[in-house]
Amino acid sequence: MKSYDLPKNLIDEVKEFEYKIKEFQAGAINPVQFKGIRVPHGIYEQREPMTHMMRIRCAGGIALPRQLKKTAELAEKYGSGIVHITTRQEMQIHNVKIQDIVTIYRELISVGLSSRGGGGNTIRNIVASHDSGVNPKEAFDIGPHTVALTSKMIAKENSFNLPRKFKISFSNGGEIDSRAMITDLGFLAKIKDGQKGFKVFCAGGMGASSALGVVLFDFIEEDKVYCVTEALKLMFNAYGNRRQKHKSRIRFLYKSLGEEKFKQYFNEEYQKLLQNGYPVLELEEIENKDNKNNSLKEEDISAPEFELWKNRYVKEQKQEGLFSVELPLFLGDITAKDAVKLAEFLENFGENSLRFSIDQNMHLRNIPEAYLGNVFRLLPEIKTISDKPSLTGKMIACTGADTCKLGLCLPRGVTPEIQRALFESGLDLDKLDVRIHVSGCANSCGCHHSADLGFKGKIMRKDKELLPAYVVLAGAVISENESRFAEELTEVASKDMPSFVVDVLKIYSEKKARFNSFYEYAQNEGREDIIEAAKKYSNIPSYEEDASYYTDWTAKEKFTVLKGQKAECSASLYDMIDFDKEIIDNSLEKLESVEGQEERNNLLKKILFSASRMLLVTKGLEASDELSVYGLFLKNFIGPNLVSGEFADMIKKAQNAEIGDYKAFEDKIIKLADSVKKLYESMDDSLQFKTEESPEEPSSDENSAEKFKDLRGVKCPMNFVKAKIELTPMKSGDKLALLLDDGEPIENVPGSIESEGHAILKKEKQAEHWFLLVKKG
């Protein structure tokens, strides 16, 4: 059995990558350039500099026992000694030193694995229902499609330089959600007139702006899967928004084009592919059968624990006499030593004996009934949470702020606390089938949108202090005919999460009999119950009263967001801005009715302060005290003329605490608040203000151009090719503005452009890249 085919040029790419690592270590290329190289290889830097995570592709969650074993050995030798299973059914190795990356890469290749496309703007790991091929209720096995599509897509160079990441899911039509309806491109298995095929969804996805997928086809034959994918990819490549990272996924393209145009553009590519007789998917059946070369001696067990475990975790397959077994992991982690043990055990059951699921668990398959005892006997030797109710294993938590640079909260800190609280609560957890998902920020890595009870990290403010907290969401349902995301209901401090979850599940367990599912409950009275339950926790003690609220679970330090670096997580930033904006708006409203002199004075002071602080966060600034807010505002907003200089004197006075009577400045303060709010409205997703000279949008006269093309991330010579594509239809004398990467691109492209008779009007370094203004000859 094979998993997927490695691209033919992978060996060369790894060699080139090895060279780039050396250049980076020697200081010849800077960290930002290096990031652009390593991320598409599935390698992310953790919060600790020079320490990396490698994300390994496992199409459809399929891994052969020897692949698991090799990965585990590498994790033991070069990483943290843990193999982590992700919510996209991949394996991850953490704490990898930069000098070991290539060694690991080559070892992975030797067992048919690759981390290429694990990150960046690429075709990411293709997910599929983990029970495909064994679920008696499925339409048919989609494993072969997942594998074949993966092989084909990763063989193409243009799958690795898309406008943004591209996620694909397959569902076998069983009862388990594989997210086909909420992803960039989803295939739901269907049988029509005896023929295998798929209902196709696209433009869905979870994240800071989630969207449900729309139906692209009611039915396509199974061999068209490749054509549909390729067509959507080509169209995405042609029309996708490369400039605004936060608005570039396919769902945004759908939104901006509208259904009709989107489908029309898609169809143009699709028809072209069909007419050209593009290759169909070559499907190779994946056999699910009893492996006769089993060297184990059957274990016969009769114990109540064995029966309880079977009830919780063992399922009959559609192949008679064979069983699948879920191995629930604590947040997707298994020690490398245990993984090796498990892999060796699984070799007895053949190559097709293991899957990873999107709830970060392992699933053994093709285990004959007589050997279930052997699996049970193995359990005490490897650390899983198989002795706990399945609700625990179904909990998802993203990695959070300890390794992720975007994270706000620490889901992996709070989740064990929730589990502990649940175990101690006396609730019969085996009767509660509730999926609890926790994300550390608004990006949906912890899948809070698809949760029964979901949480997304946010910043709460109490007086002048920040504290970690979560927005509570509930009631997602993802199915063919009805999909909706969990709805945001209320919020609760991180500290109170465990008892809050227990409270909610207690109420639910009392009412459960009346509902078919948690989702149904949440849609009805559950909604109010959850909002009500959170009220108990709405009164947050001040830092002086209880400092523990201001340090997240397992965190060593008091909660902080920015750590002096530019804010990476846009969602948290909006929280902070909105906080001040609300103060301004409320105070302005009160000002209209309040007459008391002192009260008015206080309101105006508040407005002045919040208006000055509101946008500091967009520059990655956090004031240490009240007066320094004014200093930072003066320097970063009035100085660069984002806000008019007419306010400078007033702000200086405020900075020196010289204003006693704010009423004397009433008009000016209100005008300032107005200016700041207007400036905020002009802000785009890359935190640039319209009045600013943005590196992405040359706006001053001398930089103005008829056309603009961002060629960052495009390698030589394709960057020059694309520049020519832009120049060709332009009129002589027209100007083209380009952004180019440092290094090879800026060294080569300008010369090539000049040699074709065009003039370079301007060549200017901007941050980590170059701005080039070209006049067509």
Partner 1 sequence: MNLNEEQIERYSRHILLKDVGVEGQMKLLNAKVLIIGAGGLGAPAAMYLAAAGVGTIGIADKDKVDITNLQRQIIHFTKDIDVEKVSSAKEKMNQINPDVEVKTYNEFLMANNIREIIRGYDFVIDGTDSFASKFLINDACVLEGIPFSHGGILRFDGQTMTVKPNDTACYRCVFIKPPPANVVPTCSQAGVLGAIAGMLGTIQAAEALKFITGVGEPLYNKLLSFDAKSMRFREIKFKKNDKCGVCSENAHITELKDEEQAACDLTT
Q: Using CB under 8 A, list all residues that contact partner 1.
A: 157-158, 234, 237-238, 269, 273, 276-278, 717-718, 720-722, 724-725, 728, 755-756
- C-alpha neighbours within 13 Å on the C-beta side of residue 343: 19
Which is catalytic among the residues 441, 445, 447, 716?
716
Residue 191 DSSP SS3: strand
Which residue in 146, 263, 190, 228 sits closest to 481, CA to CA?
A: 190
Distance of CA 123 to the CA centre of its chain: 14
Nearest approach, Cβ of residue 278 and partner 1 (Å): 6
Asked if 432 and 391 touch (Cβ cutoff 8 Å), the reply is yes
Are the CB atoms for 263 and 302 separated by under 8 Å?
no
- SS3 for 774? strand
Long-range contacts of 35-40 (CB under 8 A, 24+ apart): 36/120, 36/712, 36/713, 36/741, 38/101, 39/119, 39/120, 40/116, 40/117, 40/119, 40/120, 40/121, 40/122, 40/160, 40/161
Contact (Cβ atoms closer than 8 angstroms) between residue 511 and residue 504? no
Would strands 735-741 and 769-775 be described as parallel, antiparallel, or unpaired?
Answer: antiparallel
Which DSSP state fits 290?
-
Q: Residue 45 or residue 269: which is nearer to partner 1 going by CB?
A: 269
In terms of C-beta density within 10 A (0-12 exposed, 13-18 middle, 19 or more buried), how is residue 545 classed? exposed
- 217 or 278: CB nearest partner 1: 278
CB of 711 to partner 1, least distance (A): 12
**Minimum distance from residue 160 beta carbon to partner 1 (Å):** 12
Q: Between residues 262 and 665, which has the closer beta carbon with respect to partner 1?
A: 262
The residue with tokens 């169209």 is 235
Q: What is the 3-state secondary structure (H, E, C) of 715-759?
A: CCCHHHHHHHHHHCCCCCCCEEEEEEECCHHHHHHHHHHHHCCCE
Choose between 718 and 761: whose C-beta lies nearer to partner 1.
718
Give the C-alpha separation, 586 to 582, whole Å.
6
Q: Helices marked H in 176-303 — which ranges?
A: 225-239, 250-275
Separation CA 41–CA 119 (nearest Å)? 7
Provide the pairing of β-strand 43-45 with 759-766: unpaired
- d(CA 279, CA 356) in angstroms, rounded, equals 30
Is there a catalytic annotation at residue 404?
A: no
Distance CA 653, CA 675 (A): 19
CA 261 remoteness from chain centre: 28
Cβ atoms of residues 132 and 143 within 8 Å: yes
Q: Which is nearer to partner 1, 652 or 724 (CB)?
A: 724
The C-alpha atoms of residue 134 and residue 560 are separated, in whole angstroms, by: 47
Among 60, 256, 250, 252, CA closest to 166 = 250
Six token digits for residue 742:
């440092």
Q: Which is nearer to partner 1, 516 or 755 (CB)?
A: 755
Return the bridge partners of 764, or none: 771
Q: Which residues are catalytic?
A: 716
